[in-house]
Structure 1
């Protein structure tokens, strides 16, 4: 009893010690965060407010945007260390880079030199190409959007030699507006008279200059103030979310470590249970480990096959994009959607074959059911979701969010055809008696089953740990999926899938090894739910992310939830398949070691 009391006291002390840093940090967290953002009422005359460059893009093709510094402008300014980015910054481009422009609060500037640039011939061509394509740029000053043009084109009738001339803007006039001690607006005008002619392929020296003229605004709109407050509050909320997520993960790990020995002692107070055979009163386990096989093997095979197909599509689409066949960002062209649907239909041969092979490994029944489940497991939920989206778009008067159903009907029929074709080619490998080897030696089965290997506990831990690992990048990940990012979108998505697959595999190996050590061989469905549970947390965060962007607009929020459900459902199938095959590898390794010892 004394030992137990000391152990209980130690557990309480460990948990209190884990909670103290969280309580102390809660008091100090808010002032630290607010000090990172310059609030509007703190602005004084002469305060330097950085001007951030975002992106350049064609007026007719906003999808083909690039970073501002992809064009040979003046070099970027010194980066701001430990700068907290808001959600608005991420969804507006995620290319915010500090420039060398110095726009001090209420300080006039006239013809200040930004830099002297010696443009090479290839840089002149790059500027000329941007001017001919009517490329604009975006900047942000105090979280306020600023638009500008790279240059202008003078038509033949306006030139002396009747040639089209390209002129590069080298001087910009900034007109920021302020109300009391707050910046409430800004616009920029290019100085056409000082523009440089870059029509010829020749090196040229350009002095980029700028002027700043402050204007007083007597009646500012409320939208700007609300935008600034929302951005500052969002920065605090994001940092607080990451902080509390990390603290919760640490506290949960300490809690598991602290109470695990106590639970083992609690369950070990009962003697182990054995299965008793009636003949001769001898206690032994009737069947060996090979007799364990998954329940509902046809449905499990369909889930694993569809998950493998989704993973194959993730690999194929970037490959075709690198060849120029598929451009994921250009969603306006219907041929892109048709290409993806055709590719998915052709790849449906693979899951039909794989599902039939898997089901036929364990039983000779349910082959037709397995093929049909594979054909409808993903296509039917997606089609029904699109019907709901179109209905919601009609009721909410958002016609641009609707999706034509004709191509998806053809997609469903083509998917069924190729799935059935692949399923008929699958050959069952069932061998009677192989999975029911009888063991005649005594095998003690433990009475207790640790709570760590229960399905709800593994879903919580297996889903929460990868999600917390990626929590700090979830805004960028969703911005990439929604095509809101300009810089590094493909890299962000690639990094996301690599990290989450590695995390899922590691957790599956550790969890299955622990489960098999407890002589619990029911890992089949448990591994699928454990791996796929991460998609549930990602789905919930997607709703939170979209709510912040739309500011509570229920129509777009509901439509996004529907599309997000399709994406997270596919992610559930992918991670479930990855987790299952990782667990199956551990199970096969354990069986091989047992056979070698025997």
Structure 2
């Protein structure tokens, strides 16, 4: 394990420094210096994954052709496609009414624009690394005796308010003039089905005392209004206190029951010697019997350990300020790179447990570990990327980006998994079982329905899910909306509480399972710990139907398939937490009593 951390920690430092340097890059201009305005993407406001290149719509193109800005791996994965625009936004140079271009929309372009207006398309542009947004048009409904008439308008004039502090750009806003529109309704078309249009813009520069290093603060403020932020904090504190109290009550009851068990099992009077042992001590010869399907079980443990390590590093980077607002590319880059670098953790943990459980071929264990999460994710990506290609969306990754990701996986992830597997295979530690295991397994008594796996999983997943339920809305609004999550300390605390509650509830259910003489706790503890992932996926349906306006085949496939992968990742990670906590607990209670 030490070797994997030695590989990961330098990468963490490098990523943190790189991202911070990017966010604090010196953008210094003199009066009259050109500053390029980049157009990023357009798409339906309600479908954040369905984005297209800006010039897929018939806007004024640069005279010398389209020039793309080089982008990082994370920016491409995020669907960004920055293209230079013909707007002249020279530093500290005002423009009144400047004509950008005159053109005539063809009948096909009119239909395309009507669809964009009807679906409430927005656009995103970037100026000196400052993003801003606007809408391309408006739809009006006129009530007439003959029925409702739809009027489609496209905005043709945009006004840019730019704030500066000495030699640096601080803020940019865009507004569209409702009096400058072109009517593309059926009545406004010519006999040929065309519509003439003139696009124009104006620029106003204003000095501001805001320093350069505070210019991103407005994006943080816009995410949550003050009253909403106060309610957010109150809800989180209330949820955490409630869950901690419930966990405390559960831990207290469990400790009292265990204390009574220890007292009963350690008595040496003649009356108890003549009685038959019952309860969890009675199955001491079977409780450390290794589970079936050891290969898959160890692969789940290894992958869950890797995802837990990855989550810890992501939160660490977030807390030091690496992921500033509207730079999602840095988060995607960190996820890709860190997942590759933490692969050694999965290989080590999987093969170490596999060897301790006296498994056969460790090579099969390594292969299963390499594909247990990446395999489903790759299949989902292939399907969604094909859908995005059919839609001609920027969400479709270019071939070169796919090759880079595959190279990282083949040359970094796989070798580190194998290296970790070799280290785990050569690990000399033995499985510390305080009791001898019987040669033949004891028959498990018939149990009531509520002690079977599925009801136990539902009970185990409910309490941890209640700890993160409130925070999930804000996370979903960021991932599947137009907000950016900025309250990283809160979600870090919630993540810690989630793991603590998962560990406690799994330990409690493991004790109740052993108390009724059911020794099959290995898989059960993993399934109960990971069942919160099932609740998270169930929340996806609630958010889709009750809290969002998303629609369409592409958005549906992206949302439900990628969330299935995320929920599966939570299942593996929290299942590992639940099993490790249960293993520690089971070893402790059987080590504390004398087992003949």
> Could you state the TM-score of these two structures normalised by the residue count of structure 1?
0.50
CA contact (8 A) 2:347 2:416 kept: yes
Would you say 1:580 and 2:575 are equivalent positions? no
Q: Residue 476 and residue 360 in structure 1: after superposition, are their counterparts in 2 closer, same or farther (change >3 A)?
A: same
CA contact (8 A) 1:389 1:402 kept: no
Query: Map of 1:34-183 to 2, 5 A cutoff?
Result: 152=162
Among residues 285, 301, 304, which one is paired with 1:304 in the alignment?
301
Among residues 340, 345, 353, which one is paired with 1:350 in the alignment?
345
CA contact (8 A) 2:340 2:408 kept: yes
Among residues 292, 295, 313, which one is paired with 2:292 in the alignment?
295
1:503 matched residue in structure 2? 501
Among residues 516, 519, 536, which one is paired with 2:517 in the alignment?
519
Structure 1, unmatched stretches of 5+, are 1-57, 64-86, 92-130, 139-147, 156-162, 176-191, 202-241, 247-252, 254-282
Deviations 1:278-311 (A, max 9, x none): xxxxx99898145522112222111111111111
Q: Residue 332 and residue 199 in structure 1: after superposition, are their counterparts in 2 closer, same or farther (change >3 A)?
A: closer
Q: Give the whole-Å Cα distance in 2 for the aligned partners of 1:405 and 1:380.
A: 15
CA contact (8 A) 1:505 1:579 kept: yes
Q: Residue 483 and residue 430 in structure 1: after superposition, are their counterparts in 2 closer, same or farther (change >3 A)?
A: same
Among residues 363, 367, 381, which one is paired with 2:376 in the alignment?
381
Query: Map of 1:179-578 to 2, 5 A cutoff?
Result: 288-289=285-286, 291-322=288-319, 329-332=326-329, 337-402=332-397, 404-413=401-410, 414-426=412-424, 427=426, 429=428, 437=436, 447-482=445-480, 484-486=482-484, 488-547=486-545, 548-578=547-577
2:100 matched residue in structure 1? none
Q: Give the whole-Å Cα distance in 1 for the aligned partners of 2:450 and 2:534.
A: 20
**Alignment root-mean-square deviation, CA:** 5.2
Q: Residue 444 and residue 292 in structure 1: after superposition, are their counterparts in 2 closer, same or farther (change >3 A)?
A: closer
Structure 2 residue matching 1:423: 3-state secondary structure:
helix
CA contact (8 A) 1:392 1:559 kept: no
> Quick check: 463-472 or 346-355, which moved more?
463-472
Q: Give the whole-Å Cα distance in 2 for the aligned partners of 1:522 and 1:582.
A: 16
Higher RCO (Cα < 8 Å, 6 or more apart): 2
Deviations 1:17-60 (A, max 9, x none): xxxxxxxxxxxxxxxxxxxxxxxxxxxxxxxxxxxxxxxxx996
Which has the greater radius of gyration? 1
Q: Residue 518 and residue 429 in structure 1: after superposition, are their counterparts in 2 closer, same or farther (change >3 A)?
A: farther
CA contact (8 A) 2:386 2:396 kept: no
Deviations 1:332-369 (A, max 9, x none): 47xx6455433322211121111111111121423222
Q: Residue 364 and residue 558 in structure 1: after superposition, are their counterparts in 2 closer, same or farther (change >3 A)?
A: closer
Structure 1 residue matching 2:395: 3-state secondary structure:
helix
CA contact (8 A) 2:283 2:517 kept: no
Q: Residue 546 and residue 290 in structure 1: after superposition, are their counterparts in 2 closer, same or farther (change >3 A)?
A: closer
Structure 2, unmatched stretches of 5+, are 1-35, 50-126, 135-157, 179-202, 212-234, 240-245, 247-275
Q: Residue 419 and residue 344 in structure 1: after superposition, are their counterparts in 2 closer, same or farther (change >3 A)?
A: same
Give the superposition deviation at 1:534: 1.5
CA contact (8 A) 1:529 1:576 kept: yes
Give the superposition deviation at 1:448: 3.6
Q: Residue 152 and residue 559 in structure 1: after superposition, are their counterparts in 2 closer, same or farther (change >3 A)?
A: closer
Q: Residue 510 and residue 461 in structure 1: after superposition, are their counterparts in 2 closer, same or farther (change >3 A)?
A: same
Q: Give the whole-Å Cα distance in 2 for the aligned partners of 1:584 and 1:135.
A: 49
CA contact (8 A) 2:506 2:581 kept: yes
Q: Residue 59 and residue 525 in structure 1: after superposition, are their counterparts in 2 closer, same or farther (change >3 A)?
A: farther
Q: Residue 59 and residue 482 in structure 1: after superposition, are their counterparts in 2 closer, same or farther (change >3 A)?
A: farther
Q: Give the whole-Å Cα distance in 1 for the aligned partners of 2:533 and 2:421.
A: 28
Give the superposition deviation at 1:526: 0.8
Deviations 1:447-501 (A, max 9, x none): 4424333111111212233334443443212123447434644245324423322
Q: Give the whole-Å Cα distance in 1 for the aligned partners of 2:338 and 2:429.
A: 32
Give the superposition deviation at 1:329: 4.9
CA contact (8 A) 1:303 1:573 kept: yes
Q: Residue 561 and residue 433 in structure 1: after superposition, are their counterparts in 2 closer, same or farther (change >3 A)?
A: closer
1:45 matched residue in structure 2? none
Q: Residue 470 and residue 567 in structure 1: after superposition, are their counterparts in 2 closer, same or farther (change >3 A)?
A: same
CA contact (8 A) 2:128 2:169 kept: yes
CA contact (8 A) 1:550 1:557 kept: no
2:137 matched residue in structure 1? none
Deviations 1:399-438 (A, max 9, x none): 4344642133123312111111111112355869979837
In the alignment of these two chains, the number of paired residues is 368
Give the superposition deviation at 1:394: 2.2
CA contact (8 A) 1:477 1:492 kept: no
Structure 1 residue matching 2:519: 3-state secondary structure:
coil
Q: Give the whole-Å Cα distance in 1 for the aligned partners of 2:462 and 2:164.
A: 59
Q: Give the whole-Å Cα distance in 2 for the aligned partners of 1:562 and 1:380.
A: 13
Give the superposition deviation at 1:593: 1.7
Give the superposition deviation at 1:557: 1.3
